[in-house]
Structure 1
Amino acid sequence: MLVNGRKLAEQAKESIREISCHELAVLMDNDIILIDVREHHETESGILPGAVHMSRGVLEMQLENHPSVAHHPEPLQVMSQQPVYLYCRSGARSALAAESLRRMGFAHVYSLAGGILAWQEAGLPVISLSQRHAGQ
């Protein structure tokens, strides 16, 4: 049976956990692992504060380079024990990414329901890449 991308994302959402914009906004006061899985050109319109960009196409291969764990001898082991929050434009790619991380052994992976579109619709802050780099 042939399945299109939208259906595949819907199926992924059945096996992963989604988090609402407001739930994530509360958690962002803490030091969390937040990953933007959109393509690089999509981040030019803004990124969630504290997010690290790792596009969906290379996510699994780049996780061990995440700044919060890259210095550890076993970065994936360390990251797999922490909650990981993923988002994309609308929540489809982040659901697929969350499913993939779950298959890799990550126990606490969440996809932002509705993605950055829902985040912006809720009036929550987005920063430009230049603001993000200036803050580092």
Structure 2
Amino acid sequence: MPVEQEEITLPAALEAAQALAAQDGLPYAGGVLPAVAWQLVQDGQAVLVDVRTAEERKFVGEVPGSRHVAWATGTALTRNPRFVRELEAKVAAEGGKEAVVLLLCRSGKRSALAAEAAAKAGFAHVFNVLEGFEGEIDDKRQRGGADGWRFHGLPWIQD
């Protein structure tokens, strides 16, 4: 008699994100708000991976304990051709492509592209952190005044 694999039960926030993603036709598991992402990481339910450049992390700040795999590099933001391999290596200890992975960028746009690439490469539970680290640009051409990780007062450090 074959052994049945135990079904993965995700927290309610991730299940809701997956349902919304399916409804919207997203190619990855979905999006979660920064506070939800932080709680999932604190609870050991997910791995947070920052996909911004090394320079952004150094000069703008980063989330303590987050992993780093740049989606793009340099001032021209040239796509990192090794992104998927590097991501898999960074989360190997947590289950590799089966791990719950939360991707964070500046505003949630690059991380959505990174989540799509990861999902196409076989990552089963990859989510975009909505709003990103700094949030959207406002009418004053500034970030951080209305949304984003830092706006919500979540933990971050700066080099």
TM-score per shorter chain, which class? 0.7 to 0.9
Q: Unpaired runs of 5+ in structure 1?
A: 1-12, 130-136
Tell me what 1:42 maps to. 56
Flag the structure with higher helix content: 1
Q: Per-residue displacement from partner, 1:39-90 (whole Å, max 9, x unpaired)?
A: 1110012111221111002421312331x526xxxx9xx3111101100000
Q: Unpaired runs of 5+ in structure 2?
A: 1-23, 72-79, 135-147
Tell me what 1:61 maps to. 85
Report deviation, 1:123: 1.2
Q: Per-residue displacement from partner, 1:86-127 (whole Å, max 9, x unpaired)?
A: 000000000000000110111111111010010111111112
Find the partner of 1:98 among 115, 122, 126: 115
Is the radius of gyration larger for structure 1 or structure 2? 2
Residue type at the aligned position of 1:124:
L
Tell me what 1:52 maps to. 67
The number of aligned residues is 110
Higher relative contact order (CA 8 A, sep 6+): 1
Tell me, in whole angstroms, the C-alpha distance in 2 between the residues paired with 1:63 and 1:28. 17
Tell me, in whole angstroms, the C-alpha distance in 1 between the residues paired with 2:98 and 2:104. 19
Identical aligned pairs, as a percentage?
A: 34
Q: Per-residue displacement from partner, 1:3-45 (whole Å, max 9, x unpaired)?
A: xxxxxxxxxx851311101211211213332111001110012
Tell me, in whole angstroms, the C-alpha distance in 2 between the residues paired with 1:19 and 1:64. 21
Q: CA-atom RMSD, angstroms? A: 1.9
Residue type at the aligned position of 2:154:
L
Given the alignment of the two structures, is residue 18 of structure 1 paired with residue 31 of structure 2, yes or no? yes
Find the partner of 1:120 among 146, 150, 153: 150
Tell me, in whole angstroms, the C-alpha distance in 1 between the residues paired with 2:124 and 2:85. 18
